[in-house]
Structures are given as C-alpha cells and as structure tokens.
Amino acid sequence: MRISFYAPLKPPTHPTPSGDRRVARLLRAALRRRGHEVRLASKLRSRAAEPDPKALDTLRRRGERTAARLIERARAAPARERPELWFTYHLYYKAPDWLGPAVADALSIPYVVAEASHAPKRAAGPWTDYHAAVEAAIRRADLVIGLNPADLDCVAPLRPASRRPLALKPFLDPKPFATAAASRETHRAELARRLKLDPRQPWLLAVAMMRPGDKEASYRVLAEALARLTDRPWQLVIVGDGEAKSAIESAFASVAERVRFQPAVSLQALPTIYASADLFVWPAVNEAFGMALLEAQASGLPVVAGDGGGVPAIVAHGRTGLLTPMGDAAAFAEAVAALLDDPEKRRAMGAAAMRSVAAEHAIDGASAMLDAALTALVGGRRS
C-alpha cells in the first residue's frame, strides 16, 4: 500500500532528537515491515508556540497552499503512484493537521490519525480555531489510533460507536537493547573509563532533552530527590542536551561530584549506555508516556518514574518499576532509595521489564496490528 505519512508537530527527518521524532520513525518502520511504501508527504510544521492570531492565520494559509499543491501533484501522477491512504501522526491544539483531511477528501482515500489529543478547555479562547481544526480532523478520520491511553477519554466521545479508537501500545524494536544488555559488563567498563565512574557503586541513568518547561521541571524534581539521598552510594549519568542545559546543571550543584553529563548521543549508541546502568530515574512531569522509559526497560533496567499521563501504561508499578506522584520529590527519593537498598529487587524488576517489553511492546506486534487495521480500511473502501 502507498501511504502518505505526515507529522505536523515535527517531521521524522528533523535534526533535533526527541521522543516525538522517535515515535514517528517507529511508526514508519512498523508500516514498512509489512511491505507498505511510506512516503513523507510534507515537512511542514504547523505548531504555533503562542496563540498570535496573525501567526496562526499565516500557518493555516500555508497549510492550505501546501495541501493544494499535494492534491495537484497526486492528480497529475499515474494511478499506480498516487497515495492510497493518508497517515497523520500526533495532533493537538497547537499542531493541527491542515493537510491530511483536504488531501484525503480530494483523492477519496482513507484518512488515519495516530496519537491525537483533544482539549475541551481550548474550545473557547485564543486557540479556538486550532482546537476546532483538531476536533474536525478527529471526527473526520476513518481510523484513530491511540498510543497514549490518557488521551482516549477526550478523544473517544468524538467518534461514532462503529469507529472507536484503536488502542496501540507504545512500541520499539527491542533487539538492539537486548543485544547490548547481553554484553553489560563490557559496556559498563567502557562507560566507567570514559566518564570516570566507580563501577562498585549503583549507577542511575536519565535520558532526556534539556528543554525549558516540563523537561526542565522533571530534571529539577530529580535533582531535589537525589539531594535527599547523599547518605547512600550512587552516581548519576544524564544523557541529553538543549537550551536549558546550564539551568539544569545548576540544579544538580549540590550533588555535582556524583553527576556525569553526557551530551545527546545517536540512537545507535544509546543501548550500550542503558545496558551499563542499574536504575533508570525520570520524574516524567506531564510526560505523554516517555520513549526513554520503554527503552530503559527493554535494556533490563527497572524504572522509577512519575505516575502521570501514559506512563502507567508502560511501567507496571511494583513489577517493572516504581511510580510516584508526579512532581513529588520526597516520594521519588523514597522510591529510588528502596531500589538502591535492594539490589536483588532491582535485578528482578529489570528482568521483568525486559520480558514485558518483548511480549507487549515489540515492533513486530505493532506492525501486524497496524497492517491489519489499514488493510481492512482500504479493502472496505474498495469494496
């Protein structure tokens, strides 16, 4: 099947790493595993940082012009080259889809949305038009795929009973992480040498971009929590970079001698870092679900995370990790302490985490589910 893929928030080809870019790439990979031809429809970013009426109107008009060009191009192409389905990833009130509905209607092809959020509180106010565009797209879609269970309560009422959202668990390819975990001691020795870490101490790990807002807030909760645990041996490795780096480094000043900052690394290098650590720690302030939490578990790491958004859907409290109230540094510190003090529990949770990802969050299962849903959709249209 020929699929036009679009991510209005951030295209999968964007140079800046993020969980959003990671999921977009994984969705494309999952579709290609089943032999689908996935083409990036456009790199147009519809996201608006602030509700400035002039800027919003400019983005909308740019989207309409882009959609018109895509329609013209598709109509001029031979039938065998035209898209058979439009697939949009990640809609919310700051990043609506100005392209997909128009193109799908003009070409009479199915319109599919993956990971949409609907915020009724934005129905009135400066974001009204953007909110309305997202709501219209959700209602218009032939299929809505939900990756974050926390979003479904507001999305489901917009869908008729015969077209309820398809729940798809967040997923990844677990093989690179399991392979790295099998050579843990080798990778641990290398990281110890490179970052001057003490291999006799437990290593904590956090992997996240350093952006103002929720990411910075998560780092600050983590810094406050670890400052409460100076009576225990531990060292922390932070992998990430971004415009809030200086502020985040300052937040860890009281425990600076225990912290090692590692600039953002390639996806190919990440599994060896996960494999080297003992415990993944991330407060997850307003996190959708957190791909790093899934990657850590695929590597056999137990997780301590904030209990918010879609995090409980990928971290099984008491089995693959511990969840604490979001933003509560004291509770987070207590959970980290519990696993620092119990190496056997850490190892048991890590093993359970790896099994859980392989069984419930692997790309092969997601690929099969997507293929079945999209094939049925196109087949139904043809019939």
With beta carbons less than 8 A apart as the criterion, state whether 107 and 78 touch: no
pLDDT at residue 288, rounded to an integer: 81
Q: From CA 171, how far away is CA 366, in angstroms rounded?
A: 7
pLDDT at residue 17, rounded to an integer: 82
**Stated length of the chain:** 383
Selection from 279, 278, 245, 284 nearest residue 262 by Cα: 245
Residue appearing with tokens 């109107």: 57
Q: 228 phi and psi, to 5 degrees? A: -85, -5
Q: Give me the residues paired with residue 18 across strands.
A: none
List the chain pLDDT tens, one digit each, 383 residues: 999 999 999 999 998 888 889 999 999 999 999 999 999 999 999 999 899 999 899 999 999 999 999 999 999 999 999 999 999 999 999 999 999 999 999 999 999 999 998 988 888 889 999 999 999 999 999 999 999 888 888 898 989 888 899 999 999 999 999 999 999 999 999 999 999 999 999 999 999 999 999 999 999 999 999 999 999 999 999 999 999 999 999 999 999 999 999 987 888 899 999 999 999 999 999 988 889 999 999 999 999 999 988 899 999 999 999 999 999 999 999 999 999 999 999 999 999 999 999 999 999 999 999 999 999 999 876 65
Q: 185 phi and psi, to 5 degrees? A: -65, -35
pLDDT at residue 245, rounded to an integer: 96
Kindly indicate whether the domain formed by 2-171+362-382 is annotated with CATH number 3.40.50.2000. yes
pLDDT at residue 383, rounded to an integer: 57
Q: From CA 148, how far away is CA 289, in angstroms rounded?
A: 7
Intervals of CATH 3.40.50.2000 along the chain: 2-171+362-382, 175-360
Selection from 279, 379, 381 nearest residue 335 by Cα: 279
What is the third-level CATH fold of 175-360?
Answer: Rossmann fold (3.40.50)
pLDDT at residue 361, rounded to an integer: 96
User: Which run of H or E residues covers position 69?
Assistant: helix 53-76
pLDDT in tens, 85-107: 999 999 999 999 999 999 999 99
Q: From CA 22, how far away is CA 69, in angstroms rounded?
A: 28
pLDDT at residue 148, rounded to an integer: 86
